[in-house]
Structure 1
Amino acid sequence: MAPTLPPPGPRQIGVRTQIWPEYGGRVTTLRTAHTCDLDPTELRAARALMDEAFDGDFTDADWDHGLGGVHALVCDDSGLLLAHGSVVQRRILHNGRSLRAGYVEAVAVRPDRQRQGLGGQVMGALERVIDRAYVLGALSASDEGQRLYLARGWREWKGSVGTLGPEGVIHMPDEEPPLLWGAGADLDPVHELLIDWRDGDVF
């Protein structure tokens, strides 16, 4: 049975917006909240959505990467979680600067509610967070997801990438380049983009 989130209460801190989607004509609620303001039921529902949307190909490490930042959750009027995404802070080193980046993680929509604008609702909320709180946004996209992001104005990084690992710089010539949001002309592809190290997939 699909997880249903509890009705609004004193513990549910965040910003809520009622939305009438372009597709389906159904009222949904978009909520943004930090990980610390989500109760265990909400986090379990979001984790279960990842397994459902990615057909089991979403690891605990992948989920951990999406915690510690701001979540966007879309629910229907019964409280059923339909879509989720989060943005967490990371550091990108580029041309002698350390840039505060909002990294998008754990974006998913219930399989039976895809292509109804819900992913766009989630991304709109996360992009607003990036615009207000970070120098730029970044994400690693699947082939299917890339179409959504490029249509929204995300741009593919044209330079080389790597990471600053425990033993120094690690070049990653075979890594798919990330998509960037709001970077403008400040990033020069002549210089390598180095993202901070983490367990699991670096990008």
Structure 2
Amino acid sequence: MPSILLLTTSPRPGSFSTQISVELAERLRAANPASALVHRDLAANPLPHMDSGFTAGIHKPAGALSAAEAAAIRMSDELVAEILAADTLVIGTAFINFNITSNLKSWIDYIGRAGKTFRYTASGPEGMVKGKKAYIVLASGGIYSEGPAAALDHATPYLRSVLAFIGITDVEVIRVEGVNRGPDGAANAVTAARAQIARIAA
């Protein structure tokens, strides 16, 4: 069965990244009703930051894990299983201090697993999460897709790099930008984003 993994991450009430990413995931599912939709809300249910239980546990056999290490590895294994099972990934993130939300970074830390989502080969690292499509919904108060502030967008290249490292190279970005630019800024940003997701769903 096809599967869509939706990650929402913004802590902001009325988040534009959450609104548009949910709409995109629902439209993708409507276009293929047989698809399963798995929604992980990292704002409402944040993952713990990576700690010694995880960093030590990934290097130990299962029988040698402490209770804390085993819990961290179980959580990571669950997250890895979700992304491996998905055909499509929808990531909604706010643009905070020129980058992604910290809870999304924690998710990346837990799914970046050698031997699970990438492996080392004689020719270098190879992603193991292949054959998937990813959509990044990025909401920002200003304009970062072009102009003088474009160099401050560290979120888009970072996410593209991380996804490519684990094998996901088919990535499309939906920007909800300029939401703080005057009374019409948010409305114009949402209208443009909805036009883009309509083209995607079609």
Question: If the length of structure 2 is used for normalisation, what is the TM-score?
Answer: 0.28
Structure whose residues are more often helix by fraction: 2
Q: Which has the higher contact order (CA 8 A, sep 6+)?
A: 2
More strand, by proportion = 1
